[in-house]
């Protein structure tokens, strides 16, 4: 009886290993290799200031946007993100945690195989189904974009994903849940300034 149990256990384990190997083989063909992601360098974001405010250019992406002159900007080399800090926004230096205000980030990546199609399919599916409070379609300049919102650990976060040419451009905003309405308005005004060329 004990031999039969061990044989059954061994056969089940053997079948499980074969199925696991097969499923990994099938899945690994569909999952993009994130090590090959090419993020847009922050050096490509050029900021020019004049009497009307600051203009952010990225010729590589065909992106231009405006921010008021009293906003601070920081280029973060690790995540290759350009951070925009409206007045009153403070970040805890030690832990890089938002303490107060509205933090906006811009970054982009060269789309990897299947990514543009997947994002466009998501946008198209939201056109035919009811949009939710967490996922919707918005227009940024003339481009359709996916807007996703979430509240987590007391913070409101919004991400705009724009499939554009061979890239995906991301705009993100984060604030405390208590400052969500104000940050949402600041983010909307910023997005209204975006031009895609």
Domain of residue 111, residue span: 35-196
Which residue did the predictor score with more confidence, 132 or 101? 101
- Find out whether 168 and 119 touch, Cβ atoms under 8 Å: yes
The answer on 41 and 109 residing in a single domain is yes
- Find out whether 108 and 160 touch, Cβ atoms under 8 Å: no
Average pLDDT on 44-61 reads: 95
Q: What is the pLDDT of residue 91?
A: 86
State whether the Cα torsion 72-76-82-84 is positive or negative: negative
- Find out whether 196 and 144 touch, Cβ atoms under 8 Å: no
pTM equals 0.80
Average pLDDT on 81-85 reads: 95
Look over the chain and give the mean of its residue pLDDT values, rounded to a whole number: 83
- The model's pLDDT over 19-45, given as tens digits with 9 standing for 90+, comes to 444 444 444 444 445 455 789 999 999
The two most distant CA atoms of the chain are separated, in Å, by 88
Q: What is the pLDDT of residue 7?
A: 40
Percent of the chain scoring above 90 in pLDDT: 64
The answer on 95 and 2 residing in a single domain is no
The rounded distance, in Å, linking the Cα atoms of 5 and 94 is 57
The answer on 102 and 10 residing in a single domain is no
> CATH number, domain at 111?
3.40.1000.10
Q: What is the pLDDT of residue 95?
A: 61
The answer on 89 and 50 residing in a single domain is yes
Total number of domains in the chain: 2
- The model's pLDDT over 153-180, given as tens digits with 9 standing for 90+, comes to 999 999 999 999 999 999 999 999 999 9
- The model's pLDDT over 110-126, given as tens digits with 9 standing for 90+, comes to 988 788 899 999 999 88
């Amino acid at each position: 009886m004990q031999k039969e149990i061990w044989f059954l256990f061994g056969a089940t384990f053997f079948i499980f290993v074969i199925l696991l190997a097969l499923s990994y083989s099938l899945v690994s063909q569909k999952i993009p290799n994130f090590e090959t992601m090419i993020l847009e360098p922050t050096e490509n974001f050029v900021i020019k200031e004049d009497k009307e405010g600051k203009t952010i250019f990225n010729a590589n992406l065909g992106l231009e946007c405006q921010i008021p002159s009293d906003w601070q900007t920081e280029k973060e080399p690790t995540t290759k993100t350009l951070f925009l800090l409206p007045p009153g926004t403070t970040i805890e230096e030690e832990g890089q945690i938002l303490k107060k205000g509205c933090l906006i980030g811009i970054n982009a990546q060269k789309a990897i195989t299947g990514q543009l199609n997947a994002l466009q399919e998501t946008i198209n599916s939201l056109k035919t189904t009811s949009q939710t409070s967490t996922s919707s379609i918005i227009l940024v300049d003339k481009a359709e974009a996916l807007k996703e919102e979430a509240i987590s650990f007391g913070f409101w976060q919004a991400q705009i994903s724009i499939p554009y040419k061979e890239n995906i451009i991301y705009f993100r905003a984060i604030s405390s849940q208590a400052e969500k309405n104000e940050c949402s308005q600041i983010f909307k005004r910023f997005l209204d300034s975006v031009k895609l060329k």
